[in-house]
Amino acid sequence: MEKFATIDYVIFLIYFVVVAGYGYWVYSKQKKELASSKDYFLAEGSLTWWAIGASLIASNISAEQFIGMSGNGFTVGIAVAAYEWIAAIALIIVAVWFIPVYLKNKIFTMPQFLKQRYNETTSLIMAIFWLFLYVFVNLTSILYLGALAISNLGGGEYFHVIIVALAVFSIVITLGGMKVIGFTDVIQVVVLIIGGFATTYIALTLVSEHFGLGKDVLAGFKQLMVDSPKHFNLIVDKPTAESSQEDVNKYLMLPGIGMYLAGIWIVNLNYWGCNQYITQRALGADLKTARTGILFAGFLKLLMPIIVMLPGIAAYVLYKNGALQNEMAPGGNFNPDNAYSAILGFLPNGMKGLSLAALTAAIVASLAGKANSIATIFTMDIYNKYIDKGASERKLINVGKITIIISILVSVFFTWDDLLGIGGAGGFTFIQKYTGFISPGVFAMFLLGMFWKRTTGSAAIVGLITGFVLSIVFNNYAPAWFGPETFLYTAYINSAGEYEIPFQICMGLAFMFTMIIMVLVSLFGPKENPKGLELDSKMFKVEPSVMVMIVLTILIVGALYVKFW
């Protein structure tokens, strides 16, 4: 790939100055008002609905989405968009039913919710787990994949310099607190969307030119559908005896209708509704502002497949028809993870700087959001409870800032020589491996805790352990122990020649049995649980303006599924 021209550096510098300058302006305005740790960690009452929505998306989209989702677009096609479009529906559920529970009970952190609803043991276990997960899985993978993506964009040089630059930039943004993060995320999302659409525009133009249709974006999109119609099916067909290994692999990744009955809901509802990293943006707002912001994020999620998936499909069609041959791996095959960077290689001068700014925006926003969540959990659920119960608000803020710096420095240390093997495992695989196994138990614990008063603390602990154990059993051992086909699942032979149950089906089965076991354990507990939450039906009523957003989102998702089913 050609290196950057002067105009690219100028565009990127403008982005950096605008974000840093705006962040400093927000920080200087709030400095006099910053009286409590809630102001610092939650920006209590300060974030507008559009800042909450933008911050949710900025924190969610990072280098692994650009690389991984484009790669999945290359391999499978539009079916991978289900993660984004179902997320829009999941955000409706979170806005209507989850957020009112948190706000009514004045929840500050997810461990605090677990302590209030269950017991201190559950809270402490999960606080420690989340801290390790956020530092050693999320921060490291975001930093590693982000630095790798930017390095490849610039010709594969300065990987370690980029790691340091991303770390420093994210520390500067994060130290300003949630208000600075939230409002600078608005700029980050604008840059991300403009840069993303620019890349999609170039990708579709390349397709139209390759097929002699001129520089016509719409013609390029239509040509994708004509050339590779299977890449525009949202439902992956169930394999038959005649199916190729490639088709089996696609189904293992996205198991047709079965995924809509199982894992995709657990992944999305756990991520958007039970995750400090995400919910933190809305916990400092009033209910209407929080709901509107979350639903705005849902609208933005509908756009994400256009930005990060379509370039992958375009790369597939171009490669299939004789282009992009220079992107082949040593074995002679195209590496799907190179799909996005392959398209970026065709960007004209100036546009590369914009795409660099978009990538950096996604990475820095994710790093800043994650570091802030780490600081919040450590300061409020570990330090203030077990180390210094009488700490002043100023001291808590300072402890949070020190935690931010240390957590990012730790991630730099482990990323420097890829000590955790993120590159070898693949970014998406690395994250999924360490989060997917725990998700069924965590989500069951939150779901029953919110909406069934009789759920006990013992059931929560048992559920957490059961969900983890069952995830391992279904993923690694069930086909060997119980056979490749039972009334619960069908296993298929993967590329390694071993029987494998689709990961999302495994999550669904683990969740189902975890729920059953938690209910049974709770039934042996007291009929009246003093820790059960008091729910009022009025909590779940929505304003007319919020209802309009909900209906519009459902109609758009419905239309997309009718079109591409």
Tens-digit pLDDT profile for residues 111-139: 999 999 999 999 999 999 899 888 988 88
Same domain, 60 and 177: yes
Domain-embedded: residue 565: no
Task: Let me know if residue 475 belongs to a domain.
Answer: yes
Please check whether residue 267 is in contact with residue 439, taking contact to mean a CB–CB distance below 8 angstroms.
yes
pLDDT the model gives residue 465 = 93
Split at pLDDT 50, 70, 90, the class of 330 is very low
Asked, for residue 33, whether it belongs to a domain, the answer is: yes
- Predicted local confidence at residue 149, as pLDDT: 78
Domain boundary among 398, 426, 454: 426
Asked if residue 559 belongs to a domain, the reply is no
Check residue 2 and report its DSSP letter.
P
Helix (H) or strand (E) segment spanning residue 100: helix 99-104
Is residue 445 located within the same domain as residue 402? no
CA distance readout (Å), 216 to 77, 89, 202? 21, 33, 10
- Angle, alpha carbons 446-451-452 (nearest 5°): 100
* Residues 245 and 184 both lie in one domain: yes
**Is residue 411 located within the same domain as residue 513?**
no
More confident position, 63 or 502: 502
Q: How far apart are CA 88 and CA 33, in angstroms?
A: 34
Whether residue 303 is found in the same domain as residue 451 = no
Phi then psi for residue 97, to 5 deg, are -110, -30
Of 527, 98, 447, which Cα lies nearest the Cα of 287? 98
Angle at 20 between CA 18 and CA 21, to 5 degrees: 65
Residues 407 and 517 reside in one and the same domain: no
Residue 548 lies in a domain: no
- What does the alpha-carbon distance between residue 42 and residue 45 come to, in Å, rounded to a whole number? 8
- Reported as half-sphere exposure (CB side, CA atoms, 13 A), residue 84 has a value of 28
Q: What CATH code is carried by the domain that includes residue 191? A: 1.20.1730.10
pLDDT of residue 182: 82
Which residue type, as a one-letter code, is found at position 150? I
My answer on whether 422 and 486 are in the same domain is no
pLDDT exceeds 70 at position 419: yes
- Reported as a pLDDT band with limits 50, 70 and 90, residue 154 is low
Last residue of a domain, one of 385, 405, 426: 426
* C-alpha pair distances (Å), 433 with each of 53, 427, 445, 475: 28, 10, 20, 11
* pTM of this structure: 0.88
Tokens of residue 113, six digits: 């919710």
Specify whether 74 is located in the same domain as 173: yes
- Among 426, 450, 478, identify where a domain stops: 426
Domain of 360, in residue numbers: 6-426
Alpha carbons 263 and 266: distance in angstroms, whole number: 5
| First-to-final CA distance of the chain | 37
Measured between alpha carbons, how far is 159 from 303 in angstroms, rounded to an integer?
30
446 and 417 part of one domain: no
180-212 pLDDT tens trace: 888 888 888 888 888 888 889 989 999 999 888
Q: Is the domain of 252 the same as that of 143?
A: yes
Q: Residues 300, 183: one domain?
A: yes
Average pLDDT over residues 410-430: 71
Domains held by the chain: number? 2
Predicted confidence at residue 174, as pLDDT, reads 86
Q: Give pLDDT, residue 8.
A: 85
- Better-scored residue on pLDDT, 537 or 201: 201
Give kind and range of the element (H or E) at residue 461. helix 457-472
Nearest to 343 by CA among 202, 156, 521, 518: 202
| Both tokens assigned to 247 | 């088709």
Q: Which pLDDT score, from 0 to 100, does residue 430 have?
A: 54
pLDDT tens string 424-434: 545 555 566 66
Same domain, yes or no, for 186 and 218?
yes
Question: Residue 1: which pLDDT band, with cuts at 50, 70 and 90?
Answer: very low
Percentage above 70 pLDDT, the chain: 93
**Cα 89 to Cα 64, 85, 268, 286, 371, distances in angstroms:** 22, 7, 9, 21, 27
Averaged over 376-400, what is the pLDDT? Answer: 90
Coil, strand or helix at 490: strand
